[in-house]
Structure 1
Amino acid sequence: MTSPLAEYLDDFTRRDWQTIAPDDVDDPVRVAVVGLGWFAREWALPGIARSAFTEATVVTDIDNEAVAAVAADRDLRGVTPEELRDGAAADGYDAVYVATPNATHLEYVAAAAEQGKAVLCEKPLESTPERARDLVAACEDAGVPLMVGYRMQTDPAARRLRDLLDAGVAGDVVHVHATMSQTMLGELGSDHDQWRLDPELSGGCALMDIGIYPLNTIRFALGADPVRVSGRTRTEHDAFAGVDEHATYRLEFPGGIDATCTVSQNAQHASRLEVTGTDARLILDPAFYEREDRGFAVVRDGVRVDIDFEQVHQIEEEFAYFGHQLLADEPFYPDGEHALTDMWALDAIYESASTGEPVELDGE
């Protein structure tokens, strides 16, 4: 590439966080996987196995048959949730990955913290900001490291986007647009009896489940937190009764930067992030889903450059970072306090959707 972009985009998939060579890892971090839904089975477990810095050793789920099947298939130790929480298999893992319904994160993270185990918890942290705060406190009180599963932050496409913004390639950022949608009941299975449709378990649906992706990725790319939010939610079909089927929200960042986001659990599959500045537009399309290749483009002075780069396994990158930072005794960037900002923002967007008024964020 012969352009000013080459300095930032050559070696696109570089791990700018890595200081330990994979070949030098003799004892990878042993991970207990809590929750064996489709994502854990199809993406997390393969990602853990692909990473040189981690290995899965223990699995658990409330579905005993799923535990037995996965344990036998992958030669892992299967335990009940009670045994996991009681520490019956604690000698077999160094860290715990929690991928259960949102409202059950706290109990498993607290148990892992009591056992002195590092934690990787899926996002959103919990079903409410208050429970999320208790989760973070449990790890802080026990002195155990907590990382939150924002896989976009370790994806090279998002990291290179941030590099270009930091380098001023886009000029002054003016606004951001993002969208993420899927036909949830088709893509995640046709069974309507799932936890995302239960507000007590999920805390919400479209906004909590997928709205967090644009929210957090924009925060990461801009290196800033929103100071004011507003939003609207709507539900049209009986299957989504009690939760939000669609959501639109606006994030106001310092410096007058506005981000407008739309998410839906019942629309054609799409994911896109576009940052517009005074000098250029930076585009990720597709952007957020782990099961599709990311696209990266820069539009500047009327010329669009689509970057051809080797795709990575998003979840391998996430677990490689998690294991690497533990082995290197280095902190995580997407930690509990970082994730709490998302929880307060999501809660404020729901409040705005209810009242029709924007909500100021006070940095709780």
Structure 2
Amino acid sequence: MSSTVSSILEAFTRRDWQSSDVTGTIRIAMIGLGWWTRDQAIPAVEESDFCETTVVVSSSAEKAARGAELSETISHALTYDQFHEGVAADAYDAVYVVTPNGLHLPYVETAAELGKAVLCEKPLEASVDRAEKLVETCEQADVPLMVAYRMQTEPAVRRARELVEAGVIGEPVLVHGNMSQRLLAEVVPDPDQWRLDPELSGGATVMDIGLYPLNTTRFVLDADPVRVRAHTTAESPAFEEVGDEHVSFGLEFDDGTLAVCTASQAAYQSSHLRITGTEGEIELDPAFYNRQDRGFRVSWGSQSAEISFDQVNQMTEEFDYFAHCLLTGTGPLPDGEHALVDMRAMDAIYTAAEQGCDVELDTS
């Protein structure tokens, strides 16, 4: 077993999805110029091998013009109306949609009409119905849709999945995951923000950060939840309308694994994922924040290894993977159908919390 562990961890940060002979550049239009786009996405593309930002789209001409100053490759600054009108459509090959959740659909619809590939931020939308319509729109237009689960291109997470698949920890039995931050104190110190508007967000904590342990567990286990239970609380007046300032939820997966996940928008910044099996354990701590170095530990039998590795920019990995898929004609993953499982699971989490009972998920 030690040789298996060594072979998987030998080249920890490798891009196992990258071909050596791929050339070309995918031109990206950034739809939405909030802090994430300005501080994370545009700089990440600046570092990328296979894409560049050529168009920015925002609510006003002035804001778009300021966004255009963030990279020398940006040649067009558009308003949302201009984007919908198809202005400068020949200047980009794909769009990155990073508006509030409840506004993803109209921009994806326009991108699909224009024949542009779509990288859409998670969660897909603010409701299951709108998410289903979004996926259907891309399928009918035959445009590639990738959902921006950056953890799935994070080398530490990909190595964890390989170790589980190789049986290093035996059969997975338990998963513990957490993600927490102080949203109003440290991240976006404004109570009048879209995350606290249920029409735009769909929920403050489950939809925003509870999604990380949920989806990363699905990816590492290669399994889907079949039953959920949950409890939510809202102590601050700012969270009363959305209802979930803090959340805990339990998941039963189709492979028999049990998971317990917690998330909070008003707690010390922390994140971890621990997968315990019959023969060993894998732990990522810290796990989910791009601005924190990830930690990685694997234990099997009487042996344990804490791995130091070159940290990567998760956003750069995500954009390069997306562009690489487009350049090679490969369908990008995670796709819309994968993301719909999360949408239905999160909807079930809210239902379980409201009704105080287990909710089964339709896996048909």
Structures share a fold, TM > 0.5?
A: yes
Distance (Å, rounded) in 2 between the aligned partners of 1:104 and 1:233: 25
Partner of 2:327: 327
Q: In the alignment, residue 186 of structure 2 is paired with which amino acid?
A: E
Worse overlay, 57-66 or 311-320:
57-66
Note if 1:158 corresponds to 2:154.
no
Counterpart in the other structure of 1:112 = 111
* TM-score using structure 1 length: 0.96
Superposition deviation, residue 189 in structure 1? 2.5
Show the 5 A alignment for 1:90-169: 90-169=89-168
Contact map agreement 2:38 2:70 (CA 8 A) in 1: no
Q: Which residue of 1 aligns with 2:58?
A: 61
Shift of 1:63: 4.3
State the SS of the aligned residue for 2:219.
Answer: helix
User: How far 1:69 sits from its partner (Å)?
Assistant: 1.1
AA paired with 2:52?
A: E
Please state if 1:318 is matched with 2:315: no
Task: Say how many residue pairs are matched.
Answer: 360
Offset of residue 154 of structure 1: 0.3
Query: Helix, strand or coil for the counterpart of 1:255?
Result: coil
CA distance in 1, matches of 2:255, 2:200: 37
- For residue 360 of structure 1, report the CA deviation from its aligned partner: 0.6
SS of aligned partner of 2:274: strand
Contact 1:132 1:343 in 2 (8 A): yes
Cα RMSD after superposing both structures: 1.2
Paired amino acid for 1:342: D
2:29 corresponds in structure 1 to 32
- Does residue 42 of structure 2 align to residue 73 of structure 1? no
- The residue that corresponds to 2:246 in the other structure is 246
Where 1:103 maps in the other structure, the secondary structure is: helix
Shift, 1:66, TM fit: 2.6
Displacement, 1:301?
3.4
TM-score (norm 2): 0.96
Report what 2:353 is aligned to: 353
Deviation at 1:290, TM superposition (A): 0.9
SS at match of 2:36: helix
SS of corresponding position for 2:70: helix
Could you tell me which residue of structure 2 aligns to residue 14 of structure 1?
14
2:87 paired with 1:84: no
- Give yes or no for contact 1:249–1:261 (8 Å, CA) kept in 2: yes
AA of the residue aligned to 1:332: P
Q: Counterpart amino acid of 1:235?
A: A
What is the deviation of 1:190? 1.3
Confirm or deny: 8 A CA contact 1:28 1:55 kept in the other structure: yes
Cα 1:363–1:85 shift into 2, 3 Å: farther
C-alpha distance after superposition, 1:89-124 (max 9, x if no partner): 101000000000000000000000000000000000
After TM superposition, give the deviation of residue 156 of structure 1 in Å.
0.2
Counterpart for residue 211 of structure 2? 212
More displaced stretch, 164-173 vs 292-301: 292-301
User: 2:269 maps to which residue?
Assistant: 269
Structure 2 Cα separation of the partners of residues 309 and 161 of structure 1: 14
1: CA distance, partners of 2:139 / 2:12: 35
SS in structure 1 opposite 2:247? strand
Deviations 1:57-76 (A, max 9, x none): 00011144331112123232
C-alpha deviation, 1:254, in angstroms? 2.0
Distance in 2 separating the partners of 1:4 and 1:145: 35
| One-letter amino acid of the counterpart of residue 27, structure 2 | R
Moved over 4 A (4+): none
> Which deviates more, 181-190 or 170-179?
181-190
Question: Distance in 2 between the 1:255 and 1:135 partners?
Answer: 29
CA contact (8 A) 1:275 1:282 kept: yes
Contact 2:46 2:71 in 1 (8 A): no
Which structure 2 segments of 5+ residues have no match? none
Equivalent residue for 2:49? 52
Aligned with 1:163: secondary structure? helix
SS of match in other structure, 1:204? coil
Report if the CA contact (8 A) 1:20-1:328 is conserved. no
Q: Residues of 2 paired with 1:247 and 1:325: CA distance?
A: 36
SS in 1 for 2:82: helix
One-letter amino acid of the structure 2 residue matched with residue 46 of structure 1: P
Residue 20 of structure 1, CA deviation:
4.1
1:267 Cα offset (Å):
0.2
Deviation of 1:354 (Å): 0.6
| Structure 2 SS opposite 1:218 | helix
